[in-house]
Structure 1
Amino acid sequence: MSLKYNCPSCGTPLGYQGLCWRCKSEQERKTVLAWTPEQIVQKQRNLIQNIQRLADMKDPEFTDFWHLLSYRDAITSEIQRAALAAEAFCPFEIYYHAPEDVRDGLIHALLSTKDSGKASNLMCCLAMQGDDRALETLLELEKNPRPWRKKLYADPSVYAQCGGWTFDKEGQRTQLNFDTCYPMVKGAPDEVSPVRIGRAREDTCPHCGGRMVDMLVLDGWDERLKFLGLDGILTAVCCPNCVGFLKGPAFNRFTLDGGVEIFPSELYDDAETLECYVRPEDYKALTGNSFVLEKTPAPLFYGAASEDVNTIGGFANWVQDWEYTICPHCGKPMKYLAQIQWDTVMDGTEGTLYIEFCPDCQVVSMQHQQT
């Protein structure tokens, strides 16, 4: 059945008149990026005056917060102090790199509470603040748990991952994300880019018989990608059909000359085979997309609240909870590398592919989340 309308911007068939959700999101983003300094200040003032509405996820404050954080990197210490004073502990990201007085307020609230739900939120807020004193506090709570810990499912070291880092029993910090973020944007069909999403392969998936795909290929020699510390090529390979149905992530080892070794995988429920739902036209769309690396970096949370943004580095838009994979070779937490929104490369698909890697072992993991 053909749909009656088309998006006036990109031509996507629609069942309603107007822009498709992707073009509407892009239009909204362009509007925010065009805000004047005066408009930004007004948005910031409104957040401070209505900080409880932000905590209650009311608009326009909630949307303005994410616009200020994600696209303008414009959350101020004054906003953070107002949030603390109002005991607004959600969204956690409001406390990212907050000043010491705000950190101390969060620590006091955390050590004073007897409520497990409040403690959970405060640990996430403290993780977002993320300095050494925050680490010391979470480490102390891991060594000497409070009574509320019995009602939670994870240790403080797991809550620290909310802020893109964690620690071991000795208190040694491990950084789990990068402090640089580059979007991947639509480019000209013949534009050369150090990043490629969806490169065709000849080998097939042992579970469904569909084509394997180089989901992400990065050239670490490009000046923009120097922050990754890769002296060569990283290739992440998976089956786009089965990656969401595996017991755990898909893994492969990469060599800096572009080679790969794909690790064996197992399907959920001990199934041996799976129907391939990815059609030939879907493979064509995936391997023929025009995404390229943006020329300049973006704020770290650029892709953390958008379902249409593919990014390298920074923070992810976790559909469910953050999930940092353990390297199958060395047993250490892997580092978040990139996110690919499935619907940006294959129309009608859902969820997000998160790519992580272990720089020491040259192992890549790919996992899928969706609502």
Structure 2
Amino acid sequence: MTERIPCKSEGCTAAILPATFQKTGGYCMPCVQAKERQEWQAYVLQNRKTVDLYAGVTDPVEVLKIMHASRPHDPLIVYTPHKAGKEELYRSLSGDDAGRLETYALELLRAGDEDGCTDILMALVCYNNRLLSGTGTLAGLMDREVYDPGFLYKDAPAEIRDLLLEQVEADGENRNLLLLALSWIGDDVVVQRFREWREHTPEWAEELYVAPERYAHEAGWELTADGKRRDLFYPDNYAVETINPSAAEAYLEEPAASFLTESWQNCEWCGSPLTVLLDIHAGHPSVERLPVNGQKLQVQTCIICSCYGPVYIELDSLQGARWSAFNRKPDYLPETDPENESREYLSAGKQFRIAEKPRNTYHAVQWTMEPRASQIGGYPTWIQDGEYPVCPCCSQSMHFIGQLDWEAVEKYGEGIYYMFLCPEGRMSATLFQQS
């Protein structure tokens, strides 16, 4: 048996073959590779340069083109970020500038870059509240069978709607996406067609996972029993912003809105204290158009159990809250010990404030764009399929009223808590989704 020789590296316990010893100068391969990595890292640090692609560029459209451009990773280059974020730039675009960027997106589409095209169009719709050109952009997307995401077709003109209605009857391969696009158009003609499909189920409906009219949930509305459109969210959208701790300490008066405080009552499933996700005075601008019947809007939930199903809380005349007798414990709810559950997330609530001005209703519609998702009102940021809990009192779908992105709460947090309200049943509900 060939005798092995100890590696020369100090502290290394490996033993190597004589041939390896001769080849590496007496070092084992892991030590050789570690040395090569150190040498490469030192080389990168010594030779790395900073490149500012935005130097001298003042046109916001050109700035955004640079932001969207894909570049291969080069460890020897550090790119200087722009002083303004992508969301901020899109929100500041004039109508003419937004039109120029839409034209550029079409150029990318014609060149075969569908992802680059849709990235820009999504940002225009979400951050700039732009309706895309039917005869130009939407027709171009349809020519290339680009129907995803469906919200690009939001409020599309009649000629696009009619083409989609015609195509959905024959195009089985794209039918799922076509129904989503139609739900985002959601005008009287689409509502009528959805009603007809509910009353007379088309043959192709058996190929779907849900009934055709249920696709409306993905665009935030549903058909009522008498076939009318009923919206499931409120258009005013106020971002819940994060401020630094020093700024939070500067508030001398108690704010009109608070987040993530501990409730006096416990979860009847796991025994943990309930969490008040939000508590907003009725006079605050963010809830002026929400159906707040009392002095405040308060939403409580169990942070643990709402991850496994809806948690309902009954509201009294002062918009206080108590655990609802309608709650049904999921069979798959795991056993938890409240004493072992961290409550450190409560400290993050002091750093949240509601923005002074509303943003676009659909600002955070696309989760994959990684928007600042925490908000009061607006359209929800669904990570999975749209899910509006049914009020156990009146059997109607509840209205979405806000959401908290847990990534903004904890360092390694993920997922979103969604909040709903039924004023008729005097009931709130919470759901949780994550990737």
Shorter-chain TM range is 0.7 to 0.9
Contact 1:307–1:317 under 8 Å retained in 2: no
AA in 1 matched with 2:107: Q
State the Cα deviation string for residues 245-295 of structure 1 (Å, max 9, x = none): 3xx30010113413112125454435573244641423333xx33222211
SS in 2 for 1:228: coil
Contact 1:52–1:88 under 8 Å retained in 2: no
Aligned CA distance change for structure 1 residues 85 and 243 (closer, same or farther; 3 Å): same
Aligned CA distance change for structure 1 residues 197 and 109 (closer, same or farther; 3 Å): same
**Counterpart of 1:105?**
163
Matched, 1:259 2:317: no
State the Cα deviation string for residues 176-196 of structure 1 (Å, max 9, x = none): 112221111124422764432
| 1:1-371 to 2 correspondences below 5 Å | 27-35=85-93, 39-51=97-109, 58-59=115-116, 61-78=117-134, 79-113=137-171, 115=172, 117-187=173-243, 188-189=247-248, 190=251, 193-232=255-294, 233-245=296-308, 248-264=309-325, 265-269=327-331, 271=333, 273-276=335-338, 278-285=341-348, 288-305=349-366, 306=370, 308-371=372-435
Whole-Å separation in 2 of the counterparts to 1:74 and 1:96: 10
**Counterpart of 1:10?**
none
**Counterpart of 2:3?**
none
User: Residue 219 of structure 1: CA displacement?
Assistant: 2.6
Name whichever of 132-141 and 343-352 sits farther off.
343-352
**Counterpart of 2:64?**
none
Contact 2:364–2:380 under 8 Å retained in 1: yes
Aligned CA distance change for structure 1 residues 192 and 99 (closer, same or farther; 3 Å): farther
Whole-Å separation in 2 of the counterparts to 1:196 and 1:159: 35
Whole-Å separation in 2 of the counterparts to 1:169 and 1:108: 26
Aligned-pair Cα RMSD in Å: 2.8
SS in 1 for 2:350: coil
User: Residue 340 of structure 1: CA displacement?
Assistant: 0.9
Name whichever of 325-334 and 229-238 sits farther off.
229-238
Contact 2:286–2:376 under 8 Å retained in 1: no
Whole-Å separation in 1 of the counterparts to 2:271 and 2:229: 42
Whole-Å separation in 1 of the counterparts to 2:94 and 2:158: 30
SS in 2 for 1:337: strand
Contact 2:305–2:333 under 8 Å retained in 1: no
Alignment coverage as a number of residue pairs: 342
**Counterpart of 1:13?**
none
Whole-Å separation in 2 of the counterparts to 1:129 and 1:38: 24
Contact 1:241–1:278 under 8 Å retained in 2: no
Q: Which has the higher contact order (CA 8 A, sep 6+)?
A: 1
- Please identify the structure whose Cα radius of gyration is greater: 2
User: Residue 51 of structure 1: CA displacement?
Assistant: 4.0
Whole-Å separation in 2 of the counterparts to 1:153 and 1:53: 35
TM-score normalised over the length of structure 2:
0.71
AA in 2 matched with 1:261: R
User: Residue 36 of structure 1: CA displacement?
Assistant: 5.9
User: Residue 155 of structure 1: CA displacement?
Assistant: 1.1
SS in 1 for 2:177: helix
Contact 1:52–1:86 under 8 Å retained in 2: no
Whole-Å separation in 1 of the counterparts to 2:199 and 2:299: 37
Identity %: 21
User: Residue 29 of structure 1: CA displacement?
Assistant: 2.3
Name whichever of 178-187 and 351-360 sits farther off.
178-187
Whole-Å separation in 1 of the counterparts to 2:164 and 2:332: 45
Whole-Å separation in 2 of the counterparts to 1:324 and 1:271: 21
Aligned CA distance change for structure 1 residues 53 and 160 (closer, same or farther; 3 Å): farther
State the Cα deviation string for residues 92-144 of structure 1 (Å, max 9, x = none): 0011111222211211112333x1x4222111111100111100111112222
AA in 1 matched with 2:297: L
TM-score normalised over the length of structure 1:
0.83
Whole-Å separation in 2 of the counterparts to 1:37 and 1:71: 13
**Counterpart of 1:7?**
none
Whole-Å separation in 2 of the counterparts to 1:107 and 1:99: 12
Contact 1:51–1:88 under 8 Å retained in 2: no
Contact 1:90–1:121 under 8 Å retained in 2: yes
SS in 2 for 1:112: coil
AA in 1 matched with 2:104: N
